[in-house]
Structure 1
Amino acid sequence: MSRSPSTAGWPLLLRLALCQDRILAPVAVGVLVLMSVASAAATPGLYADQADRVRAAEAINASPAIVALYGPVLDVTSEGELAMTKMTVLYAVFVAVLFVVVVRRHTRVEEETGRTELVGGTAVGRHAPLVATAVEAVALAVALGALTAAGNTVSGLDPVGSLAFGAVWAGTALVAAGIAAVTAQLSASARTCAAYAAGAVGVLFVLRAAGDTGPGWLSWLSPLGWNTRVRAYGDQRWWLLACYVALAALLLAVAAVLRSRRDLGAGLVAARPGPRTGSPRLADAFALAVKVHGTTLVLWSLAAGGLGIVFGMIAPGIGDLLDSEVAQSIIDELGGALAAAILSVVAVVLTYFAVTVVSHAGRDEEDGRAELVLATATSRGGWFAASATLALVGTAWLLAVTGVGLWIGYVAADGPGIGNLLLAALAWVPAAWAVGALAVLSLAAGLRWALLVWAWPAAFLTLSLLGDLLELPGWLTGLSPYSHVPSLPAHAWSWGSAGGLSAVTAVLLAVAWWRFRERDIG
């Protein structure tokens, strides 16, 4: 392959891509594997015997809302299927997101910044970037699948079933990489590429949900529907794994054909030109930041509200899943309410909105756009404060939207009174702000620290998971801001926790402000 003029130089580009992802890939893969291992290790202790597990699986299948979110348990007697209920479909979406990010980063983002054009001026072939990206995606998918299989096996699940489950996640990753490769050819910008890929994954998820709760044949049209039907921890359908490979290969072939039909830096779907003159309102740095991230905030708001409604509708039926006294005692220890457990995960995910805003500001600085803005009457502090403010305020808004969605879904499902769900969601705002402030500080420290903005939420989530699995000392797990949030609505609001985290946020932002004002732009 490397001898072909169109793919010449791809091994060198592969080495470069692996070097660029030396932090992102291990951290993201590690978090995903730990999530799977944590679920596998926790499930046996939740149920006293097989009869309890069967009742829980039947309760899942009896709830259309849970099935729409997690997928059905096809073998109610399988401990592995019950343990991997959330992992099989819902967390597979996180796998897809990771591989969309990786492929987009090495295709559309590289073209948008002009680096692909510089590389193309050497002896590197036209299709070499796509080939290198595809090879990296395959390597990461295999690593993810193998580590997940090994982790689940060590946690006590069936080794053969764990191997099949790891292959399911690897297959999902390959399909997501193919989707990202195609959308990178269609779009004219990295932002549009992300929107197209997210829309495609969303359609596949909805198609799967419709099939799992309605006509079953619809689920067969979605790779996410295949995840359940492989029956990893039951009577495995090994032949179905070949469908992931075939679909991924087809998508990559389509991407290669589309790549040959467009100009470098352009997309097959032409970008719509903006107005010839900007609005006077955009003279303000914060208004400009809102304009840039407005569509993203709307999409995040719709997703947060939708997930809140779905989880709210599921919450009243959680008692059917936890008939055993052991399971109920564990839930009591975790906070006494499913809403608290839901929000503990949602808060980490929504923190990534702040990370997205801060990361975009870093790219603006790296690509010279920030320098253009600062050449106007906008001050350096004003530009920096605009991004930081939008990151933190936007995260608080998304948590509030989630809380309202939880309340709407809970009321719609006629659940018993459990307290103020909006307040429960807002209790996570100080922790999310503290993590967001660390991302801001990473940006202020300089562009060489910019990759850390993505690492903070994942690092604290990993610390929490390891703390539960390894019984780490409290002072170590206490380094995570998320560990200091009271489990509302089961517990009472803590002004001490909220005030302490807010103080940490203020100190981090002050240090970030000082550091940014002291260093050179770029």
Structure 2
Amino acid sequence: MTVVVEAAPPVPASASQFTGTRRLVRLALRRDRIQLSVWVISIVLFMLLVVASVTGLYSTPEELRNIAVSSAVSPVALATNGIVSGDSQGAIVASQSVLVFALVAALMSTLAVVRHTRQNEETGRAEMIGAAVVGRRALLTSALIVTVGANVVLTLGIALGSIAVGLPVVGSLALGASIGGTGIAFAGVAAVTAQITDGARTANGLAGAAIGVAFMLRAIGDVNSTVVDDGTRVVSGWLSWLSPIGWAQQIRPFDDDAWWILLLLIGFAVVHVMVAFVLISHRDQGAGLVQPRPGPPTAASWLPSAWGLAWRMQRMTMFWWIFAVVILGFAYGAVGNEIDAMVGSSQ
């Protein structure tokens, strides 16, 4: 019996490292149509809740000024909420929201990029996709396009929502851009971490660590700040300028509206994406630049059990969650000592 094997279709002469990006974008949108929608809609809705909370709690100029002055001199408020940029209603909304939602946008972006790059390689989907005519950089490019698009939609959603509840147009656009720009910046970080390791969990962990370092740099810089303008404006320390999250705050929505700082966030993302493209060409598909350590020749006696396997798989995740909860507990404990003074000053 004669077996006829058809040859694989020839690679088009015009094929490049980005060939197939459009189809991969459609595939990523298909996979994430619900997940990214939930992220974006949730952030916008919670932002509107912050606006409603500020307008309900601080309805007079005196109350707005009191909360601005109290926050400007509180190290805990500066570390957990960020800088103060005036005593207008919009400025108070920004001081209460930019930091938190910038962190959430950064997390959304890192998870999305890793999910469509390193996770695809880890599960074998990338190898199956690579059997077609797909460029080496197409998978990463499609992930970045989808993630950047989600952040653009997030920016517009926050801006339109803020405008709808009566906040100034320019400040609302700056508010959305500061949060969406942070998400775009950390999408670039995730593009790099996805090339370093051979596991999605580790790539997410490295990206999360980068977010944590950025947060700490900003917190230290904000705590070591200077209060100006009769106590209603904070000038951050120099360490805040080493953090993309700090840059997002320095846009100062509803005050300076410093649009040029948005270029720092975009430039930060572009540099990291360029580095990621270079790293792709220096590794094999499915492998990371850093090779995993070889395991011991024999397994521990507890490992073959269900509990042992669960502990082995989840121990680092549990450690970091416990660490984060402990740090959060210390932060809220410190805030508790200042709540009475801040509430009293706003009455």
Alpha-carbon offset, residue 94 of structure 1: 1.2
Q: For residues 136-193 of structure 1, give each alpha carbon's deviation from its aligned partner in whole angstroms, at most 9, with x where no partner exists.
A: 1111110000001111111222221010010111110101100100000011211110
**Contact 1:175-1:248 at 8 Å conserved across structures:** yes
Name which of 269, 291, 308 aligns with 1:248: 269
Name which of 125, 131, 134 aligns with 1:115: 125
Q: For residues 270-294 of structure 1, give each alpha carbon's deviation from its aligned partner in whole angstroms, at most 9, with x where no partner exists.
A: 1112222221212221221122101
**1:210-289 paired onto structure 2 within 5 Å:** 210-214=220-224, 216-289=237-310
Task: Quote the residue 2:160 is aligned against.
Answer: 150
Q: Which runs of 4+ in 1 moved over 2 A?
A: 319-324
Alpha-carbon offset, residue 321 of structure 1: 2.9
**Contact 1:41-1:156 at 8 Å conserved across structures:** no
**1:352-501 paired onto structure 2 within 5 Å:** none
Q: TM-score, normalised by structure 2?
A: 0.90
Task: Quote the residue 2:19 is aligned against.
Answer: 8
Q: Distance between the aligned counterparts of 2:336 and 2:238, measured in 1? A: 28
Residue 294 in 1 paired to residue 304 in 2?
no
Determine which structure has greater relative contact order: mean sequence separation of CA pairs < 8 Å that are 6+ residues apart, divided by chain length: 2
Q: Distance between the aligned counterparts of 2:67 and 2:340, measured in 1? A: 9
Q: Distance between the aligned counterparts of 1:152 and 1:319, measured in 2? A: 29
**Contact 1:109-1:190 at 8 Å conserved across structures:** yes
Work out the percentage of aligned pairs sharing the same amino acid: 39
**Contact 1:168-1:227 at 8 Å conserved across structures:** yes
Letter of the aligned partner of 1:296 in structure 2? T
Q: TM-score, normalised by structure 1?
A: 0.60
Q: For residues 31-64 of structure 1, give each alpha carbon's deviation from its aligned partner in whole angstroms, at most 9, with x where no partner exists.
A: 1111111101221110241111111111111111
What's the secondary structure of 2:303's corresponding residue?
A: helix
Name which of 30, 34, 37 aligns with 1:23: 34
Name which of 184, 197, 209 aligns with 1:174: 184
What's the secondary structure of 2:275's corresponding residue?
A: helix
Task: Quote the residue 2:140 is aligned against.
Answer: 130
Name which of 8, 28, 50 aligns with 1:39: 50
Q: Distance between the aligned counterparts of 1:232 and 1:85, measured in 2? A: 9
Q: Distance between the aligned counterparts of 1:273 and 1:154, measured in 2? A: 57
Question: Which of the two has greater helix per residue?
Answer: 1
Q: For residues 189-214 of structure 1, give each alpha carbon's deviation from its aligned partner in whole angstroms, at most 9, with x where no partner exists.
A: 11110111111111111011111112
Task: Quote the residue 1:480 is aligned against.
Answer: none
**Contact 1:56-1:320 at 8 Å conserved across structures:** no
Q: Distance between the aligned counterparts of 2:169 and 2:213, measured in 1? A: 32
Q: Distance between the aligned counterparts of 2:45 and 2:340, measured in 1? A: 26
The number of residues matched between the two structures is: 323
Indicate the RMSD between aligned Cα atoms, in angstroms: 1.4
Task: Quote the residue 2:109 is aligned against.
Answer: 99
Q: For residues 319-346 of structure 1, give each alpha carbon's deviation from its aligned partner in whole angstroms, at most 9, with x where no partner exists.
A: 333347xx77xxxxxxxxxxxxxxxxxx
Letter of the aligned partner of 2:113 in structure 1? V
Alpha-carbon offset, residue 4 of structure 1: 4.8
Letter of the aligned partner of 2:42 in structure 1? V
Letter of the aligned partner of 1:83 in structure 2? V
Do the aligned partners of residues 4 and 137 (structure 1) sit closer, same or farther apart at CA in structure 2, a change above 3 Å counting? farther
Q: For residues 299-321 of structure 1, give each alpha carbon's deviation from its aligned partner in whole angstroms, at most 9, with x where no partner exists.
A: 11010000110111012212333
